[in-house]
Amino acid sequence: MDKSKMLVAGLGQGGCVFANLMKMKDARYTNIFINSSLGDMKGLNTADLDTNVFIYSGGDGSGSDRDRGLRYIKNDSARLINTLNKYKLFKYITVYFSTDGGTGSGSIVGFVSLTKNTLPNIKINLVGILPNLKEDNKKLKNSLDCIQDLEKISHLINDIKFINNNKGNSYEDINDRAINDIDNAYSMLGHSDVGSIDEGNLENICTAKGYGVILNLPSNYSNYDEAINSAKENSVFSIPNNITECEYGGIYVKEGKYKCEKLSEKFNADETLYKTYGKMFNLVVLGGCEVPNQDIQDIEDELKERQLRKSSTKRSFSFNVNNDFKEEKKQDEKKVKIEDEDTDRYSNFNPDKFIF
């Protein structure tokens, strides 16, 4: 794809981190940072307050409140539309956002709608960041609510991917590998005796309607099925159970490592499966696949399990004090003379107004 025509947008703190990494990976991308907190821009060395940063008016973070993120974009839509109008020459936009936060998660639906209304010919790819299953309940619930909201804009978007934070060795490792794979997918151009992948072919693959899959094949497998399974297991993306069916697919591998003809037998494309040899990497990119529902189900199952644990735990103001001690205390109280004024100390106390 022509990277000079690719706009990379970061929504919220997490999304802005990825937008920054994309620009650092290849300077041909043009990025824009959209957030509710100016402080989140610190450390993003490609963010320029005068050129590519948009901070919602009156915003000072969202506190992981999706409703607040939604209000930000609703209240500031006119100014955001004015900003988007500056990018009319761009052909594609890749939008990064965390599903579990407030600003990105809460504004993604509004942002996609505004973008499509303002730039009707632009093709929209989304990259959502899923939470680690160890995150708190609010973040897990935010993620499920966000994913459900994405159905409202499914007709406006082209490709979508989910980065799964339950994979990888650390957040930095996950971020770097995800950016590397996405950038390589956008770089998969080649011409060889077995076939070619040109700009138009790559656009078909990377903007096919549906879920997008990137398989970074290892170079030390002779068995193709094992190589594909290894790529699925080691991917930092959510991968659907069925990746054999897609709308468009592309195979770009190093000659001598894999045979394109043999590898192409493992996948079926409704339209076309492009293939070529190159020198940079071993990559299979599939567009228009099914959604990875299992990873989404895992979030829901984790919340259900937590709720079951909570309901099985008794929590009350019932303290297990030794009975002998209680009896001794009663005897002591009989010996104590209670003054009248002490008995009236809490006479006006209203337990209904007590806040714990």
Per-residue pLDDT tens digits for 182-210? 999 999 999 999 999 999 999 999 999 99
Please give the pLDDT value at position 312: 78
pTM: 0.87
β-pair partners for 285: 214, 250
**The domain boundary residue, chosen from 157, 187, 212:** 157
Give CA–CA dist 311/220, Å, rounded.
49
Sign of CA dihedral 132, 134, 135, 141: positive
The predicted structure's pLDDT at residue 168: 84
- Same domain (yes/no): 26, 84: yes
Domain containing residue 236: CATH number: 3.30.1330.150
Q: How far apart are CA 52 and CA 77, in angstroms?
A: 17
Answer yes or no: is 349 within a domain.
Answer: no
Domain of 219 in residue numbering reads as 200-297
Of the candidate ranges 5-9, 84-88, 234-238, 306-310, the one whose mean pLDDT is the lowest: 306-310
3 state SS of 216 = strand
Q: What whole-number distance in Å separates Cα of residue 42 and Cα of residue 230?
A: 37
Closest by CA to 44, choosing from 33, 36, 54, 55, is: 33
Return the bridge partners of 30, or none: 7
What does the pLDDT average to over 253-261? 93
My answer on whether 220 and 142 are in the same domain is no
CB 258 within 8 A of CB 247: no
- Would you say residue 352 has pLDDT above 70? no
CATH code of the domain in which 76 resides: 3.40.50.1440
